Amino acid sequence: MSNVAVIGSQWGDEGKGKIVDWLSERADMVVRFQGGHNAGHTLVIDGVEYKLSLLPSGIVRKGKKSVIGNGVVVDPVALLREIETLRAQGVAVSPDNLIVSESVSLILPVHVEVDQAREASRGAGKIGTTGRGIGPAYEDKVARRGVRLSDLTNPELLAERLAALAAHHNVWLEAAGSAPVRADEMAAQLMDMAAELLSFAGRSWQVLAAAQDARQTILFEGAQGVMLDIDHGTYPFVTSSNTVAGQAATGAGTGPSSVEFTLGITKAYTTRVGSGPFPTEDFGDDGSRMGERGREFGTVTGRKRRCGWFDAVMVRQAGLTAGITGMALTKLDVLDGFDVLKICTGYECDGQTLDYFPSNAADQAKCTPIYEEMPGWSETTYGARSWAELPANAVKYIRRVEELTGLPVALLSTSPERDDTILVRDPFKG
């Protein structure tokens, strides 16, 4: 059985949670490897909805080990709150089935303060951050002034690190007219939670090595999407981590050969939350219809998602930069009833035709889509569990998406329910 990395091939919100949950039935371990509680994965199981941000989607399955890898930034308060919420829904969460890398960097109150103050100061130039401190926490990690989970084992070291951290950020906060943060208050809050947090702490790299020695199957779960990658996305309107499959190894503590199949979750149309370029965004009735039918509101923020037509150029580029082996096409049912469907096959930019999404933000903003139109279908695809149940035009649409992106469909999702999934190619078998 192959180890599989699941990533988003667009701007996030592609439906990764359901697919990871569906795949996790045959995996022994599910690992989150980047991002923070800005992620939002919604699972619907037997009519019950579970909303996850930090916890791996496999946590709702009995007998599976869940790991939060070192590449994730963790808000301790958010983590404990999410655990309690799931426990209230009858999900068992304990150190027996959840391991948090002792090397994760922590998101602290100062990070939230800085994040929100910066976004407010940008005015019309807002990036669209969730304001949860993810970016500043990653900055402190790279600058080598962050606080790690393992630091909670040493109160003196923790106090020293927090004092330095507060001194660094308070200069900017005070200049921005915001109240300074107090290191002693942050230390007291962390120590109140230390015992419970440290009960989940472990060496994730060692846990993964043991799993591989035992020939167990690992599912690596990414957050956001390739076009939000700090290097390969629509910079600067991106997240603060690498979202491509290569990060699965680094963010979990294992070698790149551990990832043997990369599944790119791909929505049958395109959505985006927050600011940034979106060439195929539809401001008319079609975009509104997609949003309403797809219930396009952010799991974390509740913000309405911008909606538009499928962008084959962007997904093809995501496939190449992220090494996607095959895609899971989701939310096909949202397109039921459209008379005409559009697919972006290129961009017009300053009189030139482009078959790629440019890196420069100014050029990205000038890109206008070149569309190919296809006939829609009037029949329903909702809940279909075999190709035979799909309308002929739906099959043609899928095949054209495969052709234009160069990515074969491995899975097809036709509703939020776990079992409304068509398996075309088993990712675990490579």
Query: Which DSSP letter does residue 427 get?
Result: G
Give the span between the Cα atoms of 138 and 191, in whole angstroms: 22
Neighbours of 47 (CB within 10 A): 6
Pairwise CA distance, residues 299 & 305, whole Å: 10
Question: DSSP string covering 226-260, please?
Answer: GGG-TTTSSTTSS-SS--STHHHHHHHTS-GGG--
Active-site annotation, residues: 13, 41
Q: 381 with 388: CB under 8 angstroms?
A: no
Distances (CA, A) of 58 to 43, 54, 279, 345: 10, 12, 34, 36
Q: Enumerate residues 6+ apart whose C-beta is below 8 A from 162.
A: 108, 147, 183, 184, 186, 187, 190
Q: How far is CA 399 from the centre of its chain?
A: 26
3-state secondary structure of 302: coil
Residues 6+ apart with CB under 8 A from 344: 279, 280, 309, 310, 311, 312, 313, 314, 369, 370, 371
CB 44 within 8 A of CB 18: yes
Tell me how far apart the alpha carbons of residues 88 and 163 are, in angstroms, rounded to a whole number: 36
Angle between helices 109-122 and 134-142 (to 10 degrees): 110
